[in-house]
Amino acid sequence: GGWPIIQSLWDNSTFDILDLLLKLRKYNNNILFGIGTSVDDKNSTEYDLRITQSDLGLGQREYYMNESKITVAYRRYMFDLVSILSNDTSTIEQDVKDMYEFEKEIAKHYWTTVEQRHRPNATIRTTVGKLRQLLNTTFDFTTYLTSAYASANVTLMDSDLVIVGEIDYLYNVSSIIEQVSPRILQNYVIWRFIMHRIDTLPKRFRSIKDNFDHVFRGTTTERARTVICGNYVNTFMGFAVSKLYIKKYFDDNARNQSYEMIANIRKAFIDMLEDSTWMDSMSKTKAIEKALAIDEKIGYPDYLASDNVTQLEIQYAD
């Protein structure tokens, strides 16, 4: 446990990269590898599990290809933040260098957005039961996936569909992890965890991030704290905030007018289909069925306008 970069002595005897990643996933972190759930691309009535590459500290692969003011600022960002937390700075510079070189090596195998779109067989469909056979790597992706869901009281079945993306990245990074020291891995994973939390830390930490953002993004001032806090609440309690807004400000007549407009558009479309001469009767019937099956989602779910808060209580129970 802990962050070796700020500890004079760090015991690596109990280090386990799988266990570390699983612990940090509880705080909404996909570090090194991404896993999640999404609607199946081939059947929108079903969900699938996903295993993919995660993101990089600098976002895109090209930033790591050559030394620049951005890479210098990124390492300075690491160094300055760690220096706040430690009285002993003797090993920080080397640890920062090691973390960056590790991430640079990972970046070589990172798929760009263009590559994700245009590479043949960019994703592979398999099942939980066959995942170990597909990903025969030193990192146990099957245990990682099943354990992550088990921590949320979800038991995966062998027949559950899994979509594997960026498989070259998964293989290569699994191999890199095997060759890197526990200290570098622990330092890097905790660093990425800290990066995700900077905006919620006190100003002395955020100021260090502001210096980096000035170089990386060209920003010159920090957003107002009220905006940051408001966005934070809205991100995690969006429906609860929406309920308050709806009750105080929203004109329900506008929503009803939108429903009426959609009904008129749908009726006009169906009338046009029925009058068409170029479609056979079976095609017309299917097209009309599709038009009638379109679900209207205007403004907000009905339960948010109700005085009953049961649905919200259930939604935020966990």
**Separation of alpha carbons 43 and 47, rounded Å:** 8
62 near 207, Cβ under 8 Å? no
Regions of the chain where pLDDT drops below 70? 120, 318
Long-range contacts of 5-9 (CB under 8 A, 24+ apart): 5/82, 5/86, 5/91, 5/92, 5/95, 5/96, 5/99, 5/187, 5/190, 5/191, 6/82, 6/85, 6/86, 8/88
**Separation of alpha carbons 284 and 278, rounded Å:** 10
Q: Is 302 helix (H, G, I), strand (E, B) or coil?
A: helix
CATH architecture of 4-196: Orthogonal Bundle (1.10)
The pLDDT score that the predictor gives to residue 225 is 81
Which residue is associated with the tokens 């006009």?
Answer: 268
The pLDDT score that the predictor gives to residue 318 is 66
Pick from 111, 115, 82: nearest CA to 99: 82
Kindly list the domain boundaries of the chain, sorted by start residue: 4-196, 200-236, 239-315
The pLDDT score that the predictor gives to residue 316 is 84
Strand order across the 123-127 sheet? 33-40, 43-53, 161-165, 123-127
Q: What is the DSSP letter of 279?
A: S
Give residue-wise pLDDT tens across range 20-35: 999 999 888 899 999 9
